[in-house]
Amino acid sequence: MSQQDPQRYEPTPGVGKLVLWILLFALAALAVVLGGVYLT
């Protein structure tokens, strides 16, 4: 059971990187939307 504990609390590097890219893309899209609202 002790071998499964680290996998439970620590996601794989691939998943973490994917989530990071999704957050960056969401922030970029939000910045574009807010910029468009302020410019018009």
The 10s digit of each residue's pLDDT in 1-40 is 455 555 555 656 677 788 999 999 999 999 999 999 888 7
- Structural domains of the chain, count: 1
Would you state the pLDDT for residue 28?
A: 96
| pTM (2 d.p.) | 0.55
Q: Token pair of 15, please?
A: 């998943």
Q: How high is the mean pLDDT of the chain?
A: 79
Helix (H, G, I), strand (E, B) or coil at 11: coil
The distance in angstroms from the start CA to the end CA of the chain is 58
Contacts of 7 (CB under 8 A, 6+ apart): none
State the residue range of the domain holding 27. Answer: 5-39
